[in-house]
Amino acid sequence: MNISVVGTGYVGLVTGAVFADLGNDAVCVDKDPAKIEMLRAGQMPIYEPGLEELVHRNVADGRLSFTTELEPAVRRSDIVFIAVGTPPKASGESDLSAVEEVALGIARAIDRYKVIVNKSTVPVGTGDLVRDIIQRNRRRPIDFDVVSNPEFLREGSAIEDTLRPDRIVIGAPSQQVAMTLLELYAPLERPMIITDVHSAEMIKYASNAFLAMKISFINAIANLCELASADVTQVVKGMGLDPRIGRDFLQPGLGYGGSCFPKDTDSLIQTAASLGYDFRLLRAAVEVNRERAQRFVALIRKILDPVEDRVVAVLGLAFKAKTDDMREARSVEVIQGLLEAGARVRAYDPAAMANAKAVLPAVEYCQSSYDAADGADAVAIVTEWNEFKLLNLERLRGLMRRPLVFDGRNIYEPERMRRLGFEYHSIGRRPVFPA
């Protein structure tokens, strides 16, 4: 099929590259000329394992191309995916201005029947909005349909999640329209669910909100474990063996971040309010998440007191491992809290330092974990990169002024840290001190 994907962020670029790899003719559209020039030069605007190779292969085979011109891309396509950003407004509502702009461009370009697919994460009713914009602004009464096809990819494993998704959700106005998407996705041989458009839009938000609540729940339990001298990792093990609960998204830490969970939970709360429902349960989950980084900083300040002029090595800047994404990264709150207390911060991340410098300019960026820890009064683990799990901890201890580790992701075993001579503070577990 001929498809176009508007937007070259995580969702759009991965979607275009994967569909091209499945044998379709795909063109990715973005209004940012610099980004398109990067892609044409073979450079990726985002860090995502395996993406560069996938893009290069399909560009070389002539199935994938990039352009800033929306109208020609729409005219050549049978299916047009909208995959632009929907950032939060100050109120928590989703900013749909980019979606509206693309819908207007599609209206001006449409010259024959098309299926328009909302791939962006959008509130319930956005499909109606897109349909209304195209109907009011099309130059001729050409037929089209609007479909909701939410994505469920995770940064760091986006290609795997797109090729082997748990489920493919297609919200279509009719079975006939849904068949077009079914045909496109058929080579993946994955479970598909066909719903109405509104239900598909709700599935995305409901899924992310539920996972966010699981994360906040286990973090609240971690707080209780600290007060009760219990071990949250053992609690998680005991809970997770119950098939009704499972272990996924029960990792205590500094809370959720990134481009999805914070934005989507706030947006769903606002959508509920607009419909007359006070989503108190979700508001509580958001509040628990909001205080996670503050609690971590308070612990560091308490143990290091006085903090002024102390050197803290922060390991991990991206909101999660295997990405360079700094959106809603807990490192920003942690580092800002330490700087405000007068600490000196040295930081290292395997992928996100270039992006971090734009939001955290007052930090000394280092070439490695060991470089960051050299002469430090404490190390704070903020992102769970495997590289940090595999550090030579004896070497790390030897470099530090004080063998003190604050582990915001519980990547180390407390007893091992005690034997190695560290004072070790983690999440939901008792602190340990050198033997």
Q: Are the beta carbons of 109 and 76 closer than 8 angstroms?
A: no
168-171/423-425 β-pairing: unpaired
The rounded distance, in Å, linking the Cα atoms of 211 and 203 is: 12
Please provide residue 64's backbone torsions phi and psi, each rounded to the nearest 5 degrees.
Answer: -130, 130
Please provide residue 217's backbone torsions phi and psi, each rounded to the nearest 5 degrees.
Answer: -60, -50
Domains and CATH numbers, the chain: 2-195 (3.40.50.720), 204-290 (1.10.1040.10), 292-425 (3.40.50.720)
Q: Are the beta carbons of 337 and 399 closer than 8 angstroms?
A: no
Closest CA to 422 of 431, 412, 434: 434
The rounded distance, in Å, linking the Cα atoms of 134 and 99 is: 12
**pLDDT by residue, tens only, the chain of 435 residues:** 999 999 999 899 999 999 999 999 999 999 999 999 999 999 999 888 999 999 999 999 999 999 999 999 999 999 999 999 999 888 888 999 999 999 999 999 999 999 999 999 899 999 999 999 999 999 999 999 999 999 998 888 999 999 999 999 999 999 999 999 999 999 999 999 999 999 999 999 999 999 999 999 999 999 999 999 999 999 999 999 999 999 999 999 999 998 889 999 999 999 999 999 999 999 999 999 999 999 999 999 999 999 999 999 999 999 999 999 999 999 999 999 999 999 999 999 999 999 999 999 999 999 999 999 999 999 999 999 999 999 999 999 999 999 999 999 999 999 999 999 999 999 999 999 997
Whether pTM > 0.85 for this model: the answer is: yes
The rounded distance, in Å, linking the Cα atoms of 390 and 385 is: 9
260 carries an active-site annotation: yes
Distances from the Cα of 245 to the Cαs of 218, 248, 288, 346, in angstroms? Answer: 12, 8, 20, 39
Q: What share of the chain is helix, strand, coil (3-state, %, to 5)?
A: 45, 15, 40
Total residues belonging to the chain: 435
C-alpha of 335 from chain center: 20
Q: Are the beta carbons of 387 and 362 closer than 8 angstroms?
A: no
Tell the residue number behind the tokens 């143990």, with chain if given: 303
Q: Are the beta carbons of 11 and 150 closer than 8 angstroms?
A: no
Q: Which residues of 282-315 are buried (b: 16+ CB within 10 A; e: fewer)?
A: beebbebbeebbebbbebbbebbeebeebbbbbb
- Per-residue HEC secondary structure of 105-131 comes to HHHHHCCCCEEEEECCCCCCCHHHHHH
The rounded distance, in Å, linking the Cα atoms of 415 and 434 is: 10
Tell the residue number behind the tokens 């704070």, with chain if given: 380
Instruction: Say whether 64 sits in a helix, a strand or coil.
Output: strand
Instruction: Say whether 80 sits in a helix, a strand or coil.
Output: strand
